[in-house]
Structures are given as structure tokens and as C-alpha cells.
Amino acid sequence: MLDGGTLTGGPLVEEFERRVAAVVGARYAVAVSSGTAALHLALMCLEVGAGDEVIVPDYTFPASANAVRLCGATAVLCDIDPSTFNLDPDDAARRVTSRTKAIMPVHLFGLPADMDAVLALAREHRLRVVEDAACALGATYRGHPCGALGDVGCFSFHPRKIITTAEGGMLVTNDDRLAERARALRNHGMRRQAEGVDFLETGYNYRLSEVHAALGVAQMARLPDLLRAHRQRAAWYGEELADIPGVALPGEPPGCQHIYQAYVVRLDERFNRDRVISRLRAQGVEASIGTYALSALSAYRDQTPLPRARRVFQQALALPLDAHLTREEVRAVARALRAALNEELECGMSS
């Protein structure tokens, strides 16, 4: 039987959408099966397709650029600001062509991108703005929530995010026609017409289930506490790591509220980051890389390597962070990092 729930989502999906929209300050939220699905639908709804270009930062998870390719468009990579890990608007401006249709700032690791500059660039060249806010639910830029600053914002609820539905995503917008089309496209192109339900275009099976939405509704009630917990643990890291030479801590530019979905530092080039990760893991600390320079990956080697993104890719180090980490555990990670870096220096001097 086809009813309103089939078209709009069940009651828990709708409640989850309402809660996210309220936090973000957007008129509409459309729940989908993943953050990648949200990005894909956002671009589809903005009519991005073959022959179009979308500017994407080189330093991001591949889903950002993959969504562009799924539309048949070209992802044009731009370099980043190594102090924030986010898109460099000046470098993005140099990559605008007559084919550029949109720009996709990524609020990486939960730190807002420089949206004043991004929006100014978009106005100058009449570009659409898709915020990849996968890591940034609750982050704010000049007092405004990330996700509702451009034409469309996209969130992820992957298990590594502060709020998780095990797997899921959300598209938010203030554009009623865009929201209506996104709801149709997530469900095979289905829409209700005067004569009944019809399928007006080819769509996708990007629905979020009621089971996943139930997890989201429960976790949204905890969002303020989870955000405070992540920021507190980031502050502890800042205190414990401040005096370690060669470690650049994540910053928080004026007007930005970082939510620290991940705590990522940058090692200077005296250190081999991959060996440091191995040394940390030998001490029981599960560290990892930050994310990827897309131009270093096989799928995107058709693009020119971008120097700042490539250096950050090689030197960024993600330390353990979750809402339950204790102060003593943070101290233990800092001690382990200090020891790993000292071993690296000693290894370098003896070689």
C-alpha cells in the first residue's frame, strides 16, 4: 500500500529530520541512507551534470569528489590552507572556468571552512554552494550553524561521527523545490500527483529506514552534551601537547566553533608520520592518518598534485577522541606521542 509515509518517510524519519533541521536552522531536512547519498542528491537537485565542473578541496574523504563524478560532472581539485585543513578560497578562485557550476567547501574534522570567502566567490561567479558538513553537525560559523550557509548542506551519520545512525545521512536546505525533488529522488523518483502516485524521473533507493532514524532521534537529544564532551577533550589535548616541538595543534579561527569530530595534529617534516603511527600502535594507541589528498589516489591522478594538500596528507595525525575519553587517557596518549617522536628523532640521528 502506498501512503504518505512511503513518500515522505515514516514518523521516526520525519522526527529525525525535524530535529536536524532545528539544530541547523534550515527549513527542510531530507534523511537519506548515507552522507555520500546526500551529496549526490544535492548535486543532482542543483542540475549538476555532464560538462559541468565542481570545485572540491584536494584534502578530503573521496566521497566529496566521488559524488561529483556520480553526476557525470568533473571534480576540479583545489589546494587547502594547512593551518585549518580546509579549502583555500584564493586557490579555488584560480580554478573557476566557464564550466564551473558549483563549489563544495568541506568543514573538515568539524572545523567550519572560510564561508565568507566561499560565498563571495560564489556570488561573483554565480556558483551554487554545497556544504560538505559530514563532520560538522553542531559547528558554527560567525554564530550560524554549518550546513545552512550555502544552497544545500550534507551531513553524515557514519559510526565515526559524533551523532551516528550506524549508517545514514541528511540533506538540508531552505529551498522548497530542492527539498521536494530530493525527497522524490531518494525514493525512485516517486511523487504524489492529483491522479495518484507517479514516478516522474529516474531516482534512487536512498531512503533511511525507521530503525536507523530511531537511533538518530535518540542521539539528537544528546547532541549538546556530546559536543561539549568533544570540545573538552580537545582542550585537554591542547594542554597536554602544547609543549611538544614539531606538533602543530588544530586551530579555531575567529568566528569558528570547531566541534572536533576528530582531533588531528600536523607533524613537521622531521618526522615520518607513518612510522609515528606504528610506534603509537605499538604502545596501544590507535592513531591514524587524517584523511586523503585525492590527487595522490589512483582515481584522481589525472589532476595536478597540490603541494599543501599533499604535505598535509603526509604529515597529519589523528589521535584518539571520543566523548568517553578520560583526562588520564589523554595524558597517556600525549606521553606516547612524545615517546614516539623522540624515537623518531633518535632514529634520524643514528641513521
Type of residue at 104 = M
Catalytic residue flag (residue 101): no
What ranges make up the beta strands (E) of the chain?
28-32, 53-57, 74-78, 100-103, 128-132, 140-141, 144-145, 152-156, 169-173, 190-193, 196-199, 247-248, 256-257, 263-267, 288-289, 316-319
Are 167 and 212 within 8 A, CB to CB?
yes
The packing angle between helices 273-282 and 327-350, to 10°, is: 130
CB neighbours of residue 225 within 10 Å: 10
Q: Which residue do the cell numbers 538518530 mark?
A: 216
Angle at which helix 35-45 crosses helix 63-70, to 10 degrees, equals: 40
Identify the sign of the CA torsion 55, 57, 63, 66.
positive
Helices (H), strands (E): how many in the chain? 12, 16
- Which grid cell sits at 36? 555520500
Half-sphere exposure of 41 (CA within 13 A, CB side): 37
DSSP string, 216-256: HHHHHTTHHHHHHHHHHHHHHHHHHHTT-TTEEPP---TTE
**DSSP H/E element including 280:** helix 273-282
Q: Which of 101, 161, 207, 230 is catalytic?
A: 161
Q: Give the DSSP H or E segment for 329.
A: helix 327-350
> What is the H or E stretch that residue 65 is in?
helix 63-70
Q: Could you give the residue numbers annotated as active site?
A: 161
